[in-house]
């Protein structure tokens, strides 16, 4: 396996709108990120991924782009971006940006031209179809609910949008469109950015005939994932993008790849495939499914993570993550915020962070930020949440049921302002924050935790340092231990005689194992989230320990 800077790196994802407001308008911005670079450097971050900061009407908070080469007004100017990039590089860190090319905003000039007439040269840069018997061209349900088609009276045809109707899908069959995307990518790469996180790459390829999907329940629109999620032939687009752009730069790429499973992982990130360096797979987070809010059994996590670790061992590289801007907060989702908030936050941290791959930390995860409370519809911001609310209302669900469901699955949970300190608005803004700060900011914030050696923040700092100091935790092979234990997730990292064992009690009850299954008498505990090792073969609730075996 080749040595690469991004394999040794620890990455941090920033949602600019909620990270830091530098000009008191209540909205996070690029200068706010620049203000906090020393915080990230001090934490041990090497690689920063920022979510879309391009010009956008913000129908989907920046994932609907109307100008790929202009900065969103409320986030600042291109000069602010250039300074941010320069300041990142000055600190020896790197910056990747979000490449959102499954769709544009309906305000993008490309779409305005495409919709202007049926024979406009850019007509085929999007997907236009005639309706059928006065209805949409087919019965596909969109990812954000409703139809995937929007009727456009100007030319009396429908255009395709897998997400909101204000995010018309680009037609990746069209060569000129792809060329324009590649020009834009090169424009950013020539500015010196260090790579891309590629948004919704799983959906670029659609079933070519746009045929109706099976609809046994006679729904108005039927789930259509089979027709556009990791659809056969998708990799040809990835090869085209790589040939034309990616492989000509020394960069890192990570694709948001729902619908990919460990048995095909190597096709995507195998080192000699020359496609992407990493993917964010979705198996352990089950995004967008009702289970998204539930805690998976340790056995399920063991199965998923072990499959991915083994599939890529010696062949490719994992992106390790448990949070992002589309997910609820992990301590609320998998942990126990009521009785073991700190222990569960740090236990989950050790679990995912010390496997083989590049660990990504989402803003606020490093201090154990939790889900927030929603009292009414007005408390929600996210367009996908509002669509789900309308659909559940139409199904006759009560307001209380809807709020309860959205509270433990809604994306808004990860978009509350970053909690910097216990001053007003958690130090995020001197103005009125665009979105309500979580009411627990006085107990959970960076400032308090910087002073507390046992804080979640300082545990992450220790994890990051340990990983940087120990090659076995970077390149070592992953071996699952105690495979059948119902509470303990244990794994070994092995590299040329150096071995570490990571143990995580993923439950709110203490857990034992028999010494002969995993002997640790001669091992040295180098990191733990309890004050000391009380009993060698018993873990307290949510206790994690990292042992150095040799
Ligand atoms: O999310 C897209 C995404 O999650 C899909 O890959 C997934 O397959 C689908 O939602 C069903 O599970 C990205 C961004 O992360 C998200 O914030 C945006 O809203 C979305 O794309 C549209 O740009
Ligand atoms: Ca601002």
Check residue 1 and give its pLDDT.
85
What are the structure tokens assigned to 421, written together?
């300190």
Q: Distance (Å, rounded) from C-alpha 194 to C-alpha 250?
A: 8
Please say whether the beta carbons of 525 and 545 come within 8 A.
yes
Rounded to 10 degrees, the C-alpha dihedral 202/205/208/212 comes to 30
The count of domains in the chain is 4
Q: Answer whether residue 291 shows pLDDT above 70.
A: no
Ligand 1 center–CA 257 separation, angstroms: 9
Q: Which CATH number belongs to the domain containing residue 321 in this structure?
A: 3.20.20.80
256 is catalytic: yes
Give every CB contact of residue 119 below 8 A, 6+ residues apart in sequence.
Answer: none
| pLDDT tens-digit series, residues 322-351 | 999 999 999 999 999 999 999 999 999 999
- Residue 170 belongs to a domain: no
Nearest to 418 by CA among 7, 6, 14: 14
Same domain for 401 and 357: no
Q: Distance (Å, rounded) from C-alpha 115 to C-alpha 79?
A: 33
Q: Answer whether residue 510 shows pLDDT above 90.
A: yes
Q: Answer whether residue 120 shows pLDDT above 90.
A: yes
Same domain for 61 and 188: yes
User: Tokens 């930020």, residue?
Assistant: 369
Q: Which of 200, 285, 388 to mutate to test the pocket of ligand 1 (most atoms within 8 A of CB)?
A: 200
- Residue 503 belongs to a domain: yes
What are the structure tokens assigned to 320, written together?
């390790």
- Residue 387 belongs to a domain: yes
Same domain for 40 and 78: yes
Other Cβ atoms within 10 Å of 421 Cβ, number: 16
**For residue 385, how far is the Cα from the chain centroid?**
17
Q: Distance (Å, rounded) from C-alpha 550 to C-alpha 543?
A: 22
Q: Which CATH number belongs to the domain containing residue 141 in this structure?
A: 3.90.400.10
Same domain for 253 and 127: no
Q: Which ligand is in closest contact with the Cα of 28?
A: 2
Please say whether the beta carbons of 317 and 277 come within 8 A.
yes
Handedness of CA 155, 157, 161, 164 (dihedral sign): positive
Q: Return mean pLDDT, the chain.
A: 96
- Residue 124 belongs to a domain: yes
In angstroms, what CA-CA distances link 125 with 159, 166, 172, 179?
11, 16, 8, 11
pLDDT band, residue 288 (cuts 50/70/90): low
| pLDDT tens-digit series, residues 401-433 | 999 999 988 999 999 999 999 999 999 999 999
Ligand 2 center–CA 432 separation, angstroms: 10
Same domain for 385 and 347: no
The per-residue b/e assignment along 171-191, b for 16 or more CB within 10 angstroms, e otherwise, is: bbbbeebbebbbebbeebbee
Alpha carbon nearest to ligand 1 atom 21, residue: 200
Same domain for 91 and 39: yes
- Residue 165 belongs to a domain: no
What are the structure tokens assigned to 229, written together?
């999620």
- Residue 140 belongs to a domain: yes
- Residue 154 belongs to a domain: yes
Same domain for 387 and 351: no
Q: Which ligand is in closest contact with the Cα of 61?
A: 1
Q: Which residues surround ligand 2, an ion (CB under 5 A)?
A: 21, 23, 25, 27, 29
Same domain for 317 and 214: yes
Does the predicted TM-score (pTM) go above 0.95? yes
Please say whether the beta carbons of 355 and 313 come within 8 A.
no
Q: Answer whether residue 73 shows pLDDT above 80.
A: yes
- Residue 439 belongs to a domain: yes
Q: Distance (Å, rounded) from C-alpha 195 to C-alpha 201?
A: 15
Domain that holds residue 84: 5-104+175-374+417-462
Instruction: Look at residues 125, 160, 195 and tell me which one is the last residue of a structural domain.
Output: 160
Same domain for 70 and 16: yes
What are the structure tokens assigned to 180, written together?
């324009």
Same domain for 434 and 394: no
Q: Distance (Å, rounded) from C-alpha 316 to C-alpha 313?
A: 7
Check residue 55 and give its pLDDT.
98
Same domain for 196 and 300: yes
Ligand 2 center–CA 83 separation, angstroms: 16
**From 199, 475, 499, 543, active-site residue:** 199
Q: Which ligand is in closest contact with the Cα of 259?
A: 1
199 is catalytic: yes
Same domain for 440 and 311: yes
Q: Distance (Å, rounded) from C-alpha 500 to C-alpha 504?
A: 13
């Amino acid at each position: 396996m080749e040595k690469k800077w991004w394999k040794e790196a620890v990455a941090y994802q920033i949602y600019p709108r909620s990270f830091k407001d530098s000009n008191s308008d209540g909205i996070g911005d690029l200068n706010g990120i620049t203000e906090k670079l020393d915080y990230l450097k001090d934490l041990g971050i090497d690689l920063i991924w920022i979510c879309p900061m391009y010009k956008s009407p913000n129908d989907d908070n920046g994932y609907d782009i109307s100008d790929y080469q202009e900065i969103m007004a409320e986030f600042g100017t291109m000069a602010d971006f250039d300074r941010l990039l320069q300041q990142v590089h000055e600190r020896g860190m790197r910056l990747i940006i979000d490449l959102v090319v499954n769709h544009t905003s309906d305000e993008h000039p490309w779409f305005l031209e495409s919709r202007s007439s049926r024979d406009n040269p850019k007509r085929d840069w999007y997907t236009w179809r005639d309706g059928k018997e006065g209805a949409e061209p087919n019965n596909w349900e969109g990812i954000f609910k409703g139809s995937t088609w929007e009727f456009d009276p100007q030319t009396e045809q429908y255009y395709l949008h897998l997400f909101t109707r204000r995010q018309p899908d680009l037609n990746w069959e069209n060569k000129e469109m792809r060329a324009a995307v590649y020009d834009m990518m090169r424009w950013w790469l020539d500015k010196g950015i260090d790579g891309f996180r590629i948004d919704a790459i799983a959906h670029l390829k659609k079933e070519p005939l746009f045929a109706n999907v099976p609809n046994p329940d006679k729904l108005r629109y039927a789930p259509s994932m089979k027709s556009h999620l990791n659809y056969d032939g998708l990799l040809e687009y990835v090869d085209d993008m790589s040939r034309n752009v990616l492989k000509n730069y020394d960069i890192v790429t990570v694709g948001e790849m729902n619908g990919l499973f460990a048995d095909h992982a190597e096709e995507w990130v195998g080192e000699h495939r020359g496609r992407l360096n990493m993917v964010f797979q979705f198996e352990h987070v089950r995004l967008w499914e009702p289970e998204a809010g539930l805690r998976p059994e340790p056995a399920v996590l063991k199965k998923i993570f072990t499959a991915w670790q083994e599939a890529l061992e010696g062949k490719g590289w994992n992106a390790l993550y448990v949070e992002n801007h589309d997910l609820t907060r992990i301590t609320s989702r998998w942990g126990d915020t009521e009785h073991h908030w700190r222990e569960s936050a740090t236990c989950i941290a050790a679990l995912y962070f010390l496997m083989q791959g590049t660990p990504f930390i989402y803003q606020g995860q490093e201090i154990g930020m939790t889900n927030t409370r929603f009292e009414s519809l007005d408390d929600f911001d996210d367009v996908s949440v509002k669509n789900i609310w309308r659909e559940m209302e139409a199904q006759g669900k009560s307001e209380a049921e809807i709020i309860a469901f959205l509270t433990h699955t809604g994306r808004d949970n990860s978009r509350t302002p970053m909690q910097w300190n216990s001053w007003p608005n958690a130090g995020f803004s001197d103005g009125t924050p665009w979105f309500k700060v979580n009411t627990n900011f006085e107990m959970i914030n960076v400032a308090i935790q910087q002073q507390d050696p046992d804080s979640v923040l300082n545990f992450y700092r220790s994890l990051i340092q340990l990983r940087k100091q120990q090659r076995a935790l970077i390149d070592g092979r992953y071996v699952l231990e105690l495979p059948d234990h119902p509470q303990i997730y244990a794994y070994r990292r092995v590299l040329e005689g150096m071995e570490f064992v990571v143990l995580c009690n993923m439950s709110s009850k203490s857990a034992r194992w028999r010494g002969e299954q995993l002997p640790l008498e001669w091992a040295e505990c180098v990191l733990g989230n309890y004050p000391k090792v009380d009993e060698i073969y018993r873990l307290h609730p949510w206790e994690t320990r990292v042992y150095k075996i040799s």
